[in-house]
Structure 1
Amino acid sequence: MATQGNVMTWDRRNWFEGWRLLAVLSLVLVVLSIWIAGMRAFEVDGIRMVIRFTARSSLLFFCLAFAASALTLLWPTSGTRWLRRNRRTLGLTFAASHAIHAVAIICFAVMTPTDYAAATTPASYIFGGIGYAFIIAMAATSFNRSAAAIGPRAWRILHTTGIYYLWFQFMVSFGMRIPQMPNYVWFVMPLLTVMALRITAAIVQRRRSRVVLSAN
C-alpha cells in the first residue's frame, strides 16, 4: 500500500493528511454506504448497490495508491507529491472501503442465501479470499511498529506481491463483465493506465540510475 520509506514516517504537511485524511475518507464511505442502502429501505437491492459502490470506491483508492510514486517521478508537482506523501493513507482507505464491501457481501449472503450462492463460485471464494488476506496483511503492516517488526525485505515482498495481485484481481473482476456490460471497460482503463505509469516510471528510474553510474 506504500513504500517502506512512506511507512516509516507519517508526513503531515497540512491539516488534510495522515490520520485526519483517513478518518474523513472512511467516514464519508460509511455515510455514503448507509445512504445508498437506505435508498432501498436496507433491502437486498440496496445492499447490492453498496457492494457495487464500494467495489468502485476501492478501485479509485487502489489506483491512487498504486500510481502515487510513478506520478511523482514522472510529474513532480505539489499535487503528485501530496499523493506520494499520503499513499499509505490512500492504501488504508482502500482497505476501509473493501471492509465495507465485505460487510455488504455478508449482509447479502445472510439476507438471500440462494441469490448469493448463484452469484458466487468456488473460484471467487479462493481468489477473493487471497485478496482479502493480502489486504489485511498489508494494512496491518502499514504502521511503523508492524513494518519494523517484519523487516524491510519481508515488508517489500509482501506489499509488492500484494499490490500486483490486487491489480490482477481488479482486472479480472471488472474485465470479465465487459462482454455482458460493455460500460465496465471504463473501470478497466484506469487499471491499465496506472500499470502503464508504473512501467514507464520504472524505465525512467533505471535510465537515470545508469546516467548517474556513468557520471561516476
Structure 2
Amino acid sequence: MSIDLKVVMKNKAINQWRLFWLISIPMSIVIVIAMIGADMSTGAGVSTMIGFSVRWAVPFIFLVVAASSLQTLFPGPFPMWLLRNRKYIGICFAVAMAWQGLFIFIMSYFFREYYFADVYFFRDELEGSIGYIFLPAMVLTSFEFGRKHLSSKQWKLLHKSGIYFLWAYPFSTYWWSFSYYYGNPEPLDYVYYSFGFLAFALRIAAWGKRRQQAIQSGTPVVFKVLGSAIIAFGLFVFASGRYWREPVTAFLTTPKWSADLELWLPFWPYEPFLSLFIIGLGTMLVTKNRA
C-alpha cells in the first residue's frame, strides 16, 4: 500500500495552528524543565538558559528563510507544506525567542554585574535589539489586523528585511564560533552554521534558477566557467573561515573608519557572509545573458 505524501502533508494535525501548538507546547515544556534544572540563582545559570532557548529558535528561522527557495528548486509536497506553514513556523521561532527575551531580562535586571562584566558587548546588544524590534512587528503584521495598516510594499520590505536580519544574527554567531572566536565550537555549532549557510545558499540558487529561465540567448561559456570557479571558491571560503578570518578581518579593518564602524555597525565588516557574497557573484555570472 503506497502512501500519498500530498495527502499526508495536508493532514490538519500538521498544518497551520495545530502545527504551531504541536511544536510550541512541547518546546516550552522542555525549556521549563531545563530552567528548573538550571541554577537560576546565578548569572551563569541564566546565561545557560539564554543559549539553550536560542538553540531551539534557530532552526525555525533557517527553515523560514529556505521555504520559498525549496519550492522553487525542488517543487513537491514537502516544500509546498513548508511554504504553506511558513508563517506558523515563524511564530514558533517567535515563541522560542520570547523565552530567550525572558532570560535576557532576568539576566540584565537581577544579575547586572555579571551581565555587564561577562555578557554585554555593545555591538551584540545592538544586533540583538534590532532583532527584537523586527520580531514583534513581523508577528503582528502576519495577521490581517496588523497587515491592514501596511501597504503591500511596506509589508514586503518589513518581512524581507526582518527575515534576513533574524537569519544573519544567529548565522554570524555560529560563524564566529566556527572560527574559534567564542572558543571551541560544539558539534551543534557546526550543524547550525551549515544549516544557516544552506538556507541562504538555496535562496541564491533559486534566484539563479529564475535568472536562468529568463535568459533568451544563452550564457557565454567563459562566464559559465568563471562563475562556476567563483562558486567553488565561495564554498571553500565557507568551509575554511578559521584559517582566513584573522588576516582578512585585520585587512578589512585597517582603515580607521572601518575599525570605528566595527564597534557599532551590525555585522561589519561582514566576514561571516563573504562566502555567500562570492557565491552570489558566481551565480550571477553563470546566469548572465549573452549581450
Shorter-chain TM band: 0.7 to 0.9
Q: 2:100 maps to what in 1?
A: 101
For structure 1, the 5+ residue unaligned runs are 1-11, 212-216
Q: 1:25 maps to what in 2?
A: 23
Structure having the higher Rg = 2
Q: 2:147 maps to what in 1?
A: 147
CA contact (8 A) 1:38 1:46 kept: no
Matches within 5 A, 1:189-208: 189-208=194-213
Q: 1:57 maps to what in 2?
A: 56
| Residue deviations 1:70-114 (CA, integer Å, cap 9, x gap) | 111211221111111000001111111101111011122334222
Q: Which amino acid aligns with 1:17?
A: N
SS at structure 1 position matched to 2:35 = helix
Q: Please, which moves more after superposition, 79-88 or 69-78? A: 69-78
Matches within 5 A, 1:24-43: 24-40=22-38, 42-43=40-41
CA contact (8 A) 1:134 1:162 kept: yes
| Residue deviations 1:133-158 (CA, integer Å, cap 9, x gap) | 11111111111232232021001111
Shift, 1:46, TM fit: 4.5
Q: Distance in 2 between matches of 1:209 and 1:142?
A: 31
Shift, 1:29, TM fit: 2.1
Tell me how many residue pairs correspond in the alignment. Answer: 200
Q: What's the Cα RMSD here?
A: 1.9
For structure 2, the 5+ residue unaligned runs are 1-9, 217-291
Q: 1:163 maps to what in 2?
A: 163
Q: 1:136 maps to what in 2?
A: 136
Q: Distance in 2 between matches of 1:162 and 1:81?
A: 22
Q: 2:79 maps to what in 1?
A: 80
Q: Closer, same or farther in 2 for the Cα pair 1:182/1:111, shift >3 Å?
A: same
Shift, 1:163, TM fit: 1.2
State percent identity of aligned pairs.
Answer: 26
Q: Distance in 2 between matches of 1:135 and 1:167?
A: 12
CA contact (8 A) 2:59 2:192 kept: no
TM-score w.r.t. structure 1 length? 0.84
Q: Which amino acid aligns with 2:140?
A: A
Shift, 1:125, TM fit: 2.1
